Amino acid sequence: MARETARIQREQQKKRDTRNRWLLRGGIGVGLIAIAAIVAVLVVGSIKPPTPGPQNMASDGILFEGDGSTISAVSTPATAADAEPVPTDLSEFSDTVNIAVYLDYLCPYCNIFETTNADQINNWVSAGTATLEVHPISILDNASNGTKYSTRSANAASCVANYSPDSFLDVSAALMANQPTEGTSGLTNAELVSVVETAGVTDASVATCITDEEFSSWVGDATDRALDNPLPNSSLDKLTGTPTVIVNGVQYTGALEDAAAFETFVMEQASAE
């Protein structure tokens, strides 16, 4: 009788051990599935789908022309998600000098060039003797303590291009005037909104666009295109730094702080055959 009882107990224990092993395996399996599902959600969530670009920046830049007294942005449709930008057709502006500037709003050298030459360039554009195309670029995100100030400030400028394009140059100048020092966190989005509003843009859509970073993905895509491809309407194979200033297809390599030198260069390109 004792032997039979012991045998039954051993068989029951064996069944319990087998059941526990299966439960353990199942638990691990369920856990692995759950972990895999979480990882999949995180990965998918981190992949942002392509987004349309801002209006009036179909070339990845915003173009300005003058009528003899005022400066106006040239209207273009927004670039569709996944679509390639359309380079500006400069044959439509063959009677003017064409100036293109690639800049980063955290770049101190860009600030030097803009501070030195902005008034002069604006006078040429206003008079109708030049066009200006501005390309906001974000190559200095790693110089703002992880806040991606280059992208966020370029997004702010792009928001203005989309919703209030004729105010773009005023806002661009204000962003340069309030430029943070490299290595700092830069302005917050709320502070960027304040800078834009002080520059005269009070459209609530612009403020929301800045806060939501509506065009930040597009800024990154436009930057990658400039860094990886030939720059339109020039002989440059790609963007290698900012500011990059191109006049009638030729890069300006003179002193950034010398307005007279830049004026001479522009006059030379204007008269070149």
In a domain, 54, yes or no: no
Give yes or no: residues 81 and 126 share one domain. yes
Mean pLDDT by 10 residues, the chain (273 residues): 56 62 48 41 47 95 96 96 92 95 98 98 98 98 97 98 98 98 97 98 97 97 97 97 98 98 97 80
212 within 8 A of 220, measured Cβ to Cβ:
no
97 Cβ contact list (under 8 Å, min separation 6):
124, 129, 130, 131, 247, 248, 266, 269, 270
* DSSP per-residue letters across 55-115: TT-TTSSEEEEESSS-EEEPP-PPPPTTPPP----GGGGTTSEEEEEEE-TT-HHHHHHHH
Q: How many CA atoms lie within 13 A of 123 on its CB side?
A: 5
Q: Provide the domain limits for residue 1.
A: 1-47
* CA atoms of 199 and 120, how far apart (whole Å): 20
198 within 8 A of 190, measured Cβ to Cβ:
no
* CA atoms of 148 and 229, how far apart (whole Å): 23
Give yes or no: residues 68 and 4 share one domain. no
Q: How confident is the model at residue 272, as a pLDDT? A: 87
97 within 8 A of 129, measured Cβ to Cβ:
yes
pTM of the predicted protein model: 0.82
CATH number of the domain to which 141 belongs: 3.40.30.10
- Over the range 59-83, which residues count as b (16 or more CB within 10 Å of their CB) and which as e? bbbbbbbbeeeebebbebebbeeee
* CA atoms of 42 and 58, how far apart (whole Å): 32
Give yes or no: residues 75 and 27 share one domain. no
Q: How confident is the model at residue 51, as a pLDDT? A: 79
* CA atoms of 23 and 194, how far apart (whole Å): 60
Checking DSSP bridges between strand 97-103 and strand 130-136, what pairing results, if any? parallel
Q: Tokens 């370029």 sit at which residue?
A: 154
Give yes or no: residues 98 and 204 share one domain. yes
Q: How confident is the model at residue 4, as a pLDDT? A: 57
In a domain, 190, yes or no: yes
- How far is the first Cα of the chain from the last one, in angstroms, to the nearest whole number? 115
* CA atoms of 250 and 252, how far apart (whole Å): 7
Give yes or no: residues 131 and 235 share one domain. yes
- Number of domains comprising the chain: 2
Q: How confident is the model at residue 190, as a pLDDT? A: 98
Q: Is 90 exposed, middle or buried (0-12, 13-18, 19+ CB in 10 A)?
A: middle
Q: How confident is the model at residue 81, as a pLDDT? A: 86
Q: How confident is the model at residue 7, as a pLDDT? A: 57
In a domain, 192, yes or no: yes
Q: How confident is the model at residue 131, as a pLDDT? A: 98
Q: How confident is the model at residue 82, as a pLDDT? A: 83
78 within 8 A of 54, measured Cβ to Cβ:
yes
Give yes or no: residues 240 and 140 share one domain. yes
